[in-house]
C-alpha cells in the first residue's frame, strides 16, 4: 500500500498545502480520504484527474469535502464525459450539503456523478481495501478510518478531540495520520481537535509504527506542534505531514 499526502493543511489551505486529502493506492486501486479545499489541484500532481476509484469523506466541514463540487464539474462536463459513477462514502447529509455548496437543487444534486453511500461505524470493502469507519470526537458527525490491504494498515483521525475510538481504529497500524490542530494553551476546547502531545499519546496507546502529524493549521508554529508531540510518550518516529510526502508500506 502506498500513501500520498495530497493536502494536510488544517481548516483552510496554506501556502504550501491544500486542505485535507490523502491518496491510498493498492493493486492499482486509488482511494481518497477527504477532498478538502484546494485538494483537487494538488491531486493531479500524483494521478490523473479521472483515476480515482472511490472517495471517503470523514465529515462535512468544508476543509474535508468542498472540492467534490469542482470534481463534479470535471466528471460531468470533462472531455470524455460522462465518466463512470464514483462511490463516495460520506455522512448521510452529504448529498444535500454538497448540492447546496455547489448551488444546485438537492435532486439530482451531485448524484449524477457520485454514488453517495452513507457512512456508519462499520467495516466495508473498497477494491483491495478493507475500510473501517469509527465515530470520532468532533462537533458534527465525523469519522476516523482504518484502511487495510495486503497485511498493512493506515489509520486516519479525521478531525477529533481526544478519542478512544481512534485508539481502536489505529491499533497496531503501520502508520497513523493524526490531526494536531492545536498548540497547548490553557482552556483549549474539548471535543474539537488535538495537540501534538495528544496525538502522540494516541499513537502510543495504539502501538502504531509511525506517527504523522497532520491537519496542521497554518497560523501555528509547526516546530512547536512537533516538539509537543515529542512529549506524548510515543517511542516511534514522528514527523509533520507535508503535501507530496509518500509512504510506501509495501
Could you tell me the smallest distance in angstroms from the CB atom of residue 64 to Zn ion? 6
Q: Is 63 in the site for Zn ion (CB under 5 A)?
A: yes
Could you tell me the smallest distance in angstroms from the CB atom of residue 11 to Zn ion? 5
Q: How many residues bind Zn ion (CB under 5 A)?
A: 3
Q: Is 61 in the site for Zn ion (CB under 5 A)?
A: yes
Count CB-CB contacts under 10 A for residue 29: 16
| Closer residue to Zn ion in complex, CB, 25/159 | 159
- Which segment (87-95, 158-166, 200-208, 222-230) binds Zn ion by CB under 5 A? 158-166
246 pairs with which residues across the strands? 4
Binding mask of the shown chain, residues 112 to 151, with x at each position contacting Zn ion by CB under 5 A? ----------------------------------------
| Closer residue to Zn ion in complex, CB, 10/249 | 10
- Taking alpha carbons only, the member of 30, 244, 239, 26 closest to residue 153 is 26
| Closer residue to Zn ion in complex, CB, 15/79 | 15
One of 25, 67, 159, 228 touching Zn ion (CB under 5 A): 159
Q: Is 34 in the site for Zn ion (CB under 5 A)?
A: no
Q: Is 97 in the site for Zn ion (CB under 5 A)?
A: no
Separation between Cα atoms, residue 125 and residue 127, nearest integer Å? 6
Q: Do 105 and 99 contact (CB within 8 A), yes or no?
A: yes
- Which segment (40-48, 59-67, 74-82, 239-247) binds Zn ion by CB under 5 A? 59-67
Could you tell me the smallest distance in angstroms from the CB atom of residue 188 to Zn ion? 15
| Closer residue to Zn ion in complex, CB, 152/215 | 215
Q: Do 163 and 136 contact (CB within 8 A), yes or no?
A: yes
Q: Residue 27 — φ and ψ, nearest 5°?
A: 50, 35
End-to-end CA distance of the chain: 6
C-alpha 112, offset from chain centre: 24
Q: Do 72 and 102 contact (CB within 8 A), yes or no?
A: yes
- What pairing do the DSSP bridges indicate for beta strands 86-90 and 114-118? parallel
DSSP, residue by residue, 32-53 = EE---TTHHHHHTTTS-TT---
Q: Is 201 in the site for Zn ion (CB under 5 A)?
A: no
Residues that bind Zn ion (CB under 5 A): 61, 63, 159
Amino acid at each position: 500500500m502506498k500513501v500520498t499526502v495530497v493536502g494536510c493543511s488544517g481548516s483552510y489551505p496554506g501556502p504550501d498545502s491544500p486542505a485535507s486529502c490523502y491518496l491510498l493506492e493498492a493493486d492499482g486501486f486509488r482511494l481518497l480520504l477527504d477532498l478538502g479545499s484546494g485538494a483537487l489541484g494538488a491531486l493531479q500532481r500524483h494521478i490523473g484527474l479521472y483515476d480515482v476509484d472511490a472517495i471517503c469523506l470523514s465529515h462535512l466541514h468544508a476543509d474535508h469535502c468542498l472540492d467534490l463540487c469542482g470534481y463534479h464539474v470535471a466528471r460531468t462536463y470533462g472531455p470524455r464525459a460522462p465518466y463512470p459513477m464514483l462511490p463516495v462514502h460520506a455522512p448521510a447529509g452529504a448529498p444535500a450539503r454538497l448540492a447546496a455548496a455547489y448551488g444546485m437543487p438537492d435532486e439530482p444534486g451531485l448524484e449524477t456523478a457520485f454514488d453517495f453511500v452513507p457512512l456508519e461505524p462499520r467495516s466495508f470493502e473498497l477494491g483491495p481495501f478493507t475500510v473501517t469507519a469509527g465515530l470520532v470526537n468532533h462537533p458534527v458527525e465525523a469519522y476516523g478510518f482504518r484502511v487495510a490491504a495486503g497485511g498493512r494498515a493506515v489509520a486516519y483521525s479525521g478531525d477529533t478531540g481526544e478519542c478512544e475510538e481512534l485508539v481502536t481504529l489505529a491499533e497496531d497500524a503501520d502508520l497513523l495520520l493524526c490531526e494536531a490542530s492545536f498548540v497547548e494553551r490553557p482552556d483549549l476546547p474539548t471535543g474539537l481537535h488535538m495537540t501534538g502531545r495528544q496525538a502522540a499519546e494516541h499513537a502510543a496507546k495504539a502501538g502504531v509504527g509511525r506517527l504523522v502529524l497532520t491537519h496542521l493549521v497554518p497560523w501555528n508554529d509547526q516546530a512547536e506542534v512537533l516538539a509537543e508531540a515529542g512529549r506524548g510518550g510515543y517511542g516511534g518516529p514522528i514527523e509533520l505531514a507535508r503535501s507530496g510526502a509518500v509512504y510506501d508500506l509495501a
